[in-house]
Amino acid sequence: MKKFLSLIGAAAISLTLVACGGGAEEEPQTEETPGEEETAQEENVKLVVGASAVPHAEVLEAAIPLLAEKGIDLEIVTFQDYILPNQALKDGELDANYFQTPGYLAMQIEEFGYEFESIGPIHAEPIGVYSKEYSSLDELPDGAKIIMSDSFSDHGRILPIFERAGVIELDVEEGQLAQREDIVSNPKNLDFSTLVEAKLLAPSFESGEGDAVVINTNYALEGGVDIEKYGIAFEGQDVLQPNLIVVRSEDIERPEIQTLYEVLRSEEIVNFILETYNGAVIPWSE
């Protein structure tokens, strides 16, 4: 990807002119022939990164000038779902993607055999439970309908929110993601509906579907959901999963990929996240 312009030195030819008369010798004069200037300038390396629109693409946009200073031109491809970014990465259309958690990445690798690796975490987005009628999970009525995404990896993050609030109990083996069949106690007979794509959760909430809707933060932000007003429960800080920069395994050591990660973990980007999202998006700290 990196191209270099040839370095061409300007040739200088010195011509000594001697006067033809009077026996006097003039001072030597030097004349440079027109030539190409030295051109050691390198062309920037291009990186193509796929990302969810909010906050991932916005974070990447904030990094564009920082990366340009380091010789990298960043192109951002925005996706509206969680399936296509990994397919595009596998097919070589992207150099990296930025949207998924470790749990989702592991499930995708297991299902599709992707040879992917994470170069590291950037931020976390607590999944939230939103309701226009109730202010806490305790207030949910018997038989309340809870709408959540059709992603199994999300279920492993969502159900512990309800268990922590004491409205259900789970029986999950250590290291496993909770699923609906792991619910062993559900006194309110909460109806967990998993028929909606994650990107459609915010529209479902806005249209008044369900007693509560569990929405991924990126889609809540993108859909204009008032997180502070309608959020009634969130993932605990101790169980948050980070959003990762993911690449093909063969590219893990590419210098420009490492530079991308360093910039996204820089103080400038951390401050951008803190100032832009007011706690809905949390810079990852290790």
Encode pLDDT of 260-270 as tens digits.
999 999 999 99
Farthest-apart Cα atoms in the chain, separation: 119
Out of 22-31, 59-68, 180-189, 246-255, pick the least confident.
Answer: 22-31
The residue with tokens 């109730």 is: 134
CATH superfamily of 46-125+241-283: Periplasmic binding protein-like II (3.40.190.10)
Residue 165 burial by Cβ neighbours in a 10 Å radius (0-12, 13-18, 19+): middle
CB 147 within 8 A of CB 207: no
Examine the pLDDT at 229 and tell me if it is beyond 80. Answer: yes
Q: Report the distance separating Cα 137 and Cα 234, nearest Å.
A: 11
Examine the pLDDT at 3 and tell me if it is beyond 50. Answer: no
Per-residue pLDDT tens for 116-153?
A: 999 999 999 999 999 999 999 999 999 999 999 999 88
Q: Is 46-125+241-283's fold the same as 128-239's? A: yes
This prediction has a pTM of: 0.77
Region of 144 on the Ramachandran plot (φ > 0 left; ψ -120 to 50 alpha; else beta) = beta
**Residue 41: per-residue pLDDT:** 52
**Residue 231: per-residue pLDDT:** 97
CB 273 within 8 A of CB 55: yes
Examine the pLDDT at 64 and tell me if it is beyond 60. Answer: yes
- B/e letters for 66-90, b = 16+ CB within 10 Å, e = fewer, are bbeeeebebebbebeebeebbbbbb
Please report, to the nearest 10 degrees, the dihedral formed by the alpha carbons of residues 172, 174, 176, 179 taken in order. 10
Q: Where are the domains of the chain?
A: 46-125+241-283, 128-239
Fold that domain 128-239 belongs to in CATH: D-Maltodextrin-Binding Protein; domain 2 (3.40.190)
Mean pLDDT across the stretch 218-225?
A: 94
Examine the pLDDT at 238 and tell me if it is beyond 70. Answer: yes
Examine the pLDDT at 23 and tell me if it is beyond 50. Answer: no
